[in-house]
Each structure stands twice: as structure tokens, then as C-alpha cells.
Amino acid sequence: MSPLPRFHRLPAERRQAILGVARRYFAEQGPEGASYNKIIEAAGMSKTAAYQYFDGRDDLLAAVLDDVLERLLAALGTWQPARDPAAFRAALETGTRALSAHLREHPDDLVLAGAAAARAGGTVWTGWFTSVVADGQRIGVIRTDVDRELLVAATESVLRAGDAWALAAWLRDGHEPDTRQVWELLHGLWSGAADAR
């Protein structure tokens, strides 16, 4: 599921306007609850025009979730190799702060982040996690006694669980929770002793 080719030929500003309206509706009413007809009306499209861009509601939702994921990845940025452990930690903190700032400024992305990640199946994030783990191992801040693929999968699992926990707390309490516990879990995973049982 994805938009029809004609959607991609629209001017970028118009595409973003349509996706912005749809993102707001899907965030407010849920991916399953938002009305396709209300979305296209609010976006200033007739049904005929909408069907030139999307086969239906599911295509529009897919386009919105793909766009949310692109926005999140852009906020996080690509991983750049660190020169030392301090630079590694600083890069992790910078990425986390940038992503948190984006989510504070774009609450619709916050609400739809889980659905966007689920749609991608995790494969988009795996490359980023692989880069982080490989770089951490290169400079000696991440253990090397565990298979890298397993370590990447475990790192991804800890961060996904931490994200889900933080998202629930954020939506419940209206502010970002203290995420030091997540970093402590990661530190334990990354620096655990080889003979730990």
C-alpha cells in the first residue's frame, strides 16, 4: 500500500499539506477510527481527486505513516562514527535530544510513532542500531564477547521497550519522563561481563 504515482507528482508543498491534515486526523482519532471522507474534505479535495492519489483510506494511512517514519529518522540523523567514548555518549545524547525535541514540537508524530515503526517492521531502524553497536565496539564502549547481530537485536529491544514506556508516560503525564533508567539498562547490556550468568 502506498500513494498512487500521481500523488508524488504533486508539488511538495501540496503533498505535505495533505499529509499534515491526514496526520492530524489519524493522530486524534486513531489509525482505525479516522474517517477518510472527513480527511479528504479537510484537505480540500473532492472524492474524485482523492482517488487519483490514493486507492483509499489504507493507502492514505500508509503514506502518513511512511512520512512520520521519515520525519523521525531525519530528526534522529544518521550515525556518525565517534572518535572516543565521550564523543560516542555525546552523539547518543544528541540524537535522543533531537528526536525528543521533534516529538515535543510534533505531537501527531509522537502519537503515530509506534504505528509507523510497526509498519516499517523495524528494518529501517536496524541499520541505525547496527551502526551504533559496531561503532561502540570499535572504540571499546560496547562488549565484543556477544555476537553482533544478537547485541543489535537486544539493543533494539531495550530501546523499543524504553520508547514504549516513555511514550505511555508522556501521553499519560504530559511531559517526557526521566529516561536515565533506559540508558542504565543499555549500559548494563553493553558492558556486561563475559562470564555473567
The pLDDT confidence band at residue 197, using thresholds 50, 70 and 90, is: very low
Please tell me the predicted confidence (pLDDT) of residue 137: 95
Q: What is the DSSP string of the chain?
A: ----HHHHTS-HHHHHHHHHHHHHHHHHH-TTT--HHHHHHHTT--HHHHHHH-SSHHHHHHHHHHHHHHHHHHHH------SSHHHHHHHHHHHHHHHHHHHHH-HHHHHHHHHHHHHHTTHHHHHHHHHHHHHHHHHTSS-SSS-HHHHHHHHHHHHHHHHHHHHHHHHHHSS---THHHHHHHHHHHH--TT--
Domains identified in the chain and CATH numbers: 5-66 (1.10.10.60), 69-191 (no CATH)
Average pLDDT, the chain: 87
Please tell me the predicted confidence (pLDDT) of residue 88: 93
Please tell me the predicted confidence (pLDDT) of residue 194: 45
- The structure's pTM equals 0.78
> How far apart (Å, rounded) are the C-alpha atoms in residues 25 and 143?
44
The pLDDT confidence band at residue 62, using thresholds 50, 70 and 90, is: very high
Q: Which three cell numbers stand for residue 111?
A: 502519537
Please tell me the predicted confidence (pLDDT) of residue 122: 62
- Tens digit of each residue's pLDDT (9 = 90 or more) over 88-110: 999 988 988 888 888 888 989 98
- Tens digit of each residue's pLDDT (9 = 90 or more) over 155-174: 888 887 887 787 778 778 87
**What percent of the chain lies above the pLDDT cut of 90?**
50
> How far apart (Å, rounded) are the C-alpha atoms in residues 94 and 88?
10
Please tell me the predicted confidence (pLDDT) of residue 24: 96
